[in-house]
Amino acid sequence: MFAPVRENIGIAVDGGGVKGAIVAHGLIELEKQLGTSPLINDPRVKVIAGTSTGAVIAASLAIGMTGQEILDLYEQLGKHVFSKGGRFRPFGVTIPLVNRLHLPISVVRFLDKLPLAVGEFFLYMLLPARYSFDPLREVMLRQLAKHPAPNTHPTVRELGQYLNGKPHQPRIVMTAVEVAARQTRFIKSTSTDEFADMKLVEAVLASSCIPTFWDPIPVPTGDGKRFLVDGGVGNFGNPAEVVARELMHPYADQQVDPNNVTLFSFGTGYLHTDAYRKAANPVTKWWALDWATRAPDLFINDALRDASRDVVAQYPGLDFRRFQLTLEKQVKADNFNEIEGLLKTLGLQLRERISLNQHALSGPPGNPFDPEGIQDVNTWATVRASGVAQ
């Protein structure tokens, strides 16, 4: 059954594009188990962090959306977010009038379906980013109009002031990577830095900006020279450690004892090894373009896994609940056709696991709720010694 939570709750949501819909299902169950909807009003919820699609969810929770409303949002995104092609820039050449044109979305989709990576090649040659952010921006602004917290187009600072007005003063953190600096930036609702006056919508877009999908988002004070892309490009595709630092690090504004913290960490699906082999074809047949597009796969999963391991090792006594599901086939970030199919099935599976407290640390190494393999021998010894496995 659902295990009792502690007096301080953190929520961390991984990146994963459309697979964020899985987590939305999980949030519906979490609301049920905690007895609070929306979650931002639960006095125990102190920090919410998100990367990429996780930032969409974190911001949505912050403005008072429920799990069901977030799930509905993903269904809307499928109809609109990839409905406009990116700006036309053949071979990376700047041509003043031509660069204002957008490649018709029908052409983008046609090329994307061509076999043998032929379409990918032409898309890379014609478009620096295959989609326009305009539709996603419009959808998010419509959500803010329905949930004007604190207004219909707030800055990060204004959102923080609104959250500080709640008795438990919850806060959110979104990750994005600054390209030239090659560093992750943490856009916080408590920020007083250069990101404080960034519009919330732009901050979410920056965290969600998958390279080659969308154009980078400029830093507000960067004079056109500084740009942000998807936080998952860095080491925080799994932002559990971000939540942990905000709550329990010695330098945290209000340090909390790990023994008083429950951290819910939501993955967006782990592709089974055999499924990856099938999707990626034999590595001996990869072309240069294949390596360019798939090389990130080789280190991203390690980063996700190690983020969980680091949290367990650094904060003994923490009630850490990492929920991750196995994917039997690859689901691309823009494959919204799976919303009512595979992703719904996985979402319902996540709901059941939350209700039964079936997470990565709820059993011994190799348990079916730990597809990432967080519990290698050394980590499991640390977990058992610290007493965090429940």
pLDDT-based confidence at residue 98 (cuts at 50, 70, 90): low
Closest of 273, 214, 272 to residue 87, by C-alpha: 214
List the domains of the chain with CATH numbers: 8-79+137-275+301-386 (3.40.1090.10), 85-126 (no CATH)
Reply yes or no on whether the pLDDT at 73 is more than 50.
yes
pLDDT-based confidence at residue 379 (cuts at 50, 70, 90): low
Radius of gyration of the CA atoms of the chain, in A: 20
Other Cβ atoms less than 10 A from the Cβ of 183: the count is 9
> Which tens digits make up the pLDDT trace of 159-185?
999 999 999 999 999 999 999 999 999
DSSP string covering 39-89: GGG-TTEEEEEEETHHHHHHHHHHTT--HHHHHHHHHHHHHHTTSSB-B--
Q: What is d(CA 300, CA 98) in angstroms, rounded to the nearest whole number?
A: 36
**Cβ(244)–Cβ(10) below 8 Å:** yes
- Which helix (H) or strand (E) segment holds residue 279: the answer is helix 273-280
pTM value is: 0.90
Residue 390: per-residue pLDDT:
46
Q: What is d(CA 371, CA 159) in angstroms, rounded to the nearest whole number?
A: 36
Average pLDDT over residues 205-227: 89
pLDDT-based confidence at residue 273 (cuts at 50, 70, 90): confident
Q: Output DSSP code: residue 117.
A: T
> Which tens digits make up the pLDDT trace of 11-65?
999 999 999 999 999 999 999 999 999 999 999 999 999 999 999 999 999 999 9
Reply yes or no on whether the pLDDT at 344 is more than 90.
yes
Residue 382: per-residue pLDDT:
54
Reply yes or no on whether the pLDDT at 213 is more than 90.
no
pLDDT-based confidence at residue 90 (cuts at 50, 70, 90): low
